Amino acid sequence: MNNNSKILIIDDERQIRKLIVITLESNNFYVLEAATAKEGLQMAAMHPPDLIILDLGLPDEDGQSVLVKLRDWYISPIIILSVRDAETDIIQALDNGANDYLVKPFRTGELLARIRNALRNKFESNNQSIITFQNITIDLVARIVKKDNAVLKLTSTEYSLITLLARNENKVLTHQFILREIWGPGYVEQSQYLRVFIAQIRKKIEENPNQPKIIITESGIGYRLVGEDI
C-alpha cells in the first residue's frame, strides 16, 4: 500500500509541509512539495502523483478553483486541508470532487489513516457487481442486500441510499450530494428525508443503531459508510 506511492502536498505553510513530509517519508511514501497553486498545478501535471493533499487557503488562487482545475483531468484521490471555521469550503470541496478532508490542526495518525483509505479505494475496481463491507453484502445485479448471509428487506429508497454510500465506501458524501443523487436536484434542501432514511437503514444493518459503526455521521457535512470496522 505505502510502497513508494507518490504524494503531492500543495500548502503555503512551510511548517505544515515539513510535518507532512516527515510523517509520510518515514512511512515510505515519496513526497513532492508545492507552496503555491501555480506551482502545485504544474507539478501535478509534470509528475502525476498517486494522491494530492491540497490546502484550501492558498495565497495566489482560491482552493476550490485549484480543485476544479485538477479534477478536469486528475482522477486519483485528493484530500483537502482546511482550518476549522471554513466548513462551507469543505462541503463545497467534497461536492467538487475531493475524496476526503482534514481539519487543521490534525494528528499525523489521522493523516496517515485518511491517505491509506484513499489509496486503498484507488486500487479497488469500481465496476464490481457485488460490494462487501463489514458484515454486509450488496448484490447490485440481483438487488439483494445481506447481513451475515441473511437477506435484508429494504425499500427501494433504502436500497438506493445504501448502494450510493457503499459505492463511495469511506468517502464523505454531503447531504446535498446524496439528496441530489437519490431524490433529484429539486430535493437538495430536504435533509430531514435523509435523517429518516439513514435511521431506517441503521436499524436494519447496525448491531447497535444508536452507536453506528457502518454509517457514520459527519456533523455539518454528511455521512460516510465505513468499509472496515477499526
Binding mask 134-153 for DNA (x = CB under 7 A): -------------------x
Nearest to 136 by CA among 201, 181, 183: 201
Nearest to 167 by CA among 147, 140, 135: 140
CB-side neighbour CA atoms (13 Å) of 70: 34
* Residue 146 grid cell: 445481506
Nearer to DNA, 30 or 159 (CB): 159
DSSP assignment, residue 165?
Answer: H
Stretch that binds DNA, among 41-49, 104-112, 135-143, 185-193 (CB under 7 A): 185-193
Instruction: Give the distance, in angstroms, between the CA of residue 201 and the centroid of all CA atoms in the same chain.
Output: 20
Encoded amino acid at 187, one letter: Y
Check whether the bond before 105 is cis (ω within 30° of 0): yes
Residue 30 near DNA by CB under 7 A: no
Nearer to DNA, 133 or 223 (CB): 223
Nearer to its own copies, 53 or 131 (CB): 131
Residue 142 near its own copies by CB under 8 A: yes
- Site for DNA, residues 71 to 100, rule: CB under 7 A: 84-85, 87
CB contact at 8 A, 112 and 82: no
**At 160, phi and psi to the nearest 5?**
-60, -40
DSSP assignment, residue 152?
Answer: P
Tell the smallest beta-carbon distance from residue 34 to its own copies (Å): 36
Nearer to DNA, 171 or 202 (CB): 202
Nearer to its own copies, 134 or 160 (CB): 160
Tell the smallest beta-carbon distance from residue 140 to its own copies (Å): 10
Encoded amino acid at 38, one letter: K
- Site for its own copies, residues 179 to 198, rule: CB under 8 A: 184-186
Tell the smallest beta-carbon distance from residue 175 to DNA (Å): 6
Nearer to its own copies, 139 or 206 (CB): 139
Exposure of 54 by Cβ count < 10 A (0-12 exposed, 13-18 middle, 19+ buried)? buried
Binding site for its own copies (CB under 8 A): 141-143, 184-186
Binding site for DNA (CB under 7 A): 84-85, 87, 153, 155-158, 175, 183, 190-193, 195-199, 202, 209-210, 212, 217-222
